[in-house]
Amino acid sequence: MKRRQFLHWTAAGFCGVTLGAAFWRKVFAQPAAPGPSPYGPISDFPDANGLRLPAGFSSRVIAVTGQFVPNTFHPWHPLPDGGACFPAADGGWAYTSNSETPVAGGAAMIRFNASAEIVDARTILAGTSVNCAGGPTPWGTWLSCEEWERGLVWECFLDGLPALPRPALGSFTHEAAAVDPARRRVYLTEDREDGRFYRFIPEEWPSLASGRLAAARVKWDDDRHLAADVRWYPVSPEFSARFPPEAEHTTPFDGGEGCWYDGGLVYFTTKGDNRVWTYNDGTRRLEVIYDAALYPDSPLRGVDNIVVSASRDIYVAEDGGDMQICLITPERIVAPFLELEGHDGSEITGPAFSPAGDRLYFSSQRGLNNQGVGMTFEVHGPFRR
């Protein structure tokens, strides 16, 4: 794995693993309900970049499909999707972003210095197909997931090494991945109506070259399907768990989307039923922490990519809907954080926080008026810590 090559990315502490969300372990008596945002209401009018934000926050566009990333000669890719941030030893950071383009997909990174100025941008994966979401690793690599029937997970290196396929993580319609460094395992979602929730245990940590792949087998507490016990059924990495005999022993989830690890818990979303889930591998318990069907007036619809902030808030990006990023607080309140105007028909992708937690990155995958020109944004402001 050559871990020393990534120490300069992890010296400051990996920004996706150490944020902490211990509150969510305590109780899941009722899924989150609509309520006031801790940041107050979003503005009635958009800023110059089309963003409606809470008071005290500002935005900038950091990349546009087909245009050079500012201060570089790197053209930004089409259909920007999943992303993550990685700290650098000089106090700066990098933001990675997938391209969900068929056949000519891949991933790229934008490098910032300690003053948040863009200093570099380049490709970290090329020649793959439909790279949707993914996930960061504690050792400073980006897992880029291909969303097609025989798609793979690719491990991308930010220091210039060529990306490597990781077939042991399965060949199926991948969406996202989340790494649990405490228990040394990887969780994966599958974007199909009958997709599965997967767990991979590496044979030799932290290498992802080999290991054991399994899919969740769920025993619901009751017919509401809000909580369950989980067992793991071994499956072949060469075939999805949707195929017999695995399908008889595993549980379908309706359109697996974003997946994120934080503070001992794994969070993931399912778009078919508009739910946000959490899984605790210590107790083998699965819980629904948000269900849009329970609250018809809830602002959150079209759940997709997710990220957890330093304040234990879960930020959920919308695929369609009213193009919002909503947050779910530890007090189990769901509220809008921002809204994009003029991007109807697009989707919000790739939310990720800078290492300091004061900047949020994300993309509008198809941009203004759904014209196919993706836009990647940065929002800066007084995020809760």
- Give every CB contact of residue 19 below 8 A, 6+ residues apart in sequence: 262, 263, 308, 309, 310, 312, 353, 357
Distance CA 140, CA 149 (A): 27
**Is 104 domain-assigned?**
yes
Chain center to CA of 267: 9
SS3 call for 200:
strand
198-238 confidence digits (pLDDT tens): 999 999 999 999 999 999 999 999 999 999 999 999 999 98
Average pLDDT value for residue range 337-346: 97
Distance CA 132, CA 359 (A): 22
DSSP state of 91: S
The confidence score (pLDDT) of residue 66 equals 98
Average pLDDT value for residue range 291-306: 96
Domain hosting 359: range is 3-380
Burial grade of 33 (CB within 10 A; 0-12, 13-18, 19 or more): middle
Distance CA 273, CA 292 (A): 8
Distance CA 143, CA 176 (A): 8
**Is 75 domain-assigned?**
yes
The chain-wide mean pLDDT, for the chain, equals 93
For the record, the structure tokens of 256 come out as 């697996």
**Pair 361, 95: CB distance under 8 Å:** yes
233-279 confidence digits (pLDDT tens): 999 998 888 888 889 999 999 999 999 999 999 999 999 999 999 99
pLDDT of 166 over the 60 cut: yes
SS3 call for 10:
helix
**Is 307 domain-assigned?**
yes
Q: Which amino acid, residue 193?
A: E
Domain count, the chain: 1
Phi, psi of 217 (to 5 degrees): -115, 120
The confidence score (pLDDT) of residue 239 equals 80
Torsion of CA 115, 117, 119, 124, to 10 degrees: 100
How many CB atoms neighbour CB 26 within 10 A?
Answer: 8
CATH, residue 237: 2.120.10.30
**Is 164 domain-assigned?**
yes
Beta strand 211-220 with 227-234 is antiparallel
19-67 confidence digits (pLDDT tens): 344 444 444 458 999 999 999 999 999 999 999 999 999 999 999 999 9
DSSP state of 173: B
**Pair 241, 194: CB distance under 8 Å:** no
88-137 confidence digits (pLDDT tens): 999 999 999 999 999 999 999 999 999 999 999 999 999 999 999 999 99
With tokens 């209401």, the residue in question is 41
Average pLDDT value for residue range 284-304: 96
The confidence score (pLDDT) of residue 242 equals 84
What is the value of pTM for the model shown? Answer: 0.93
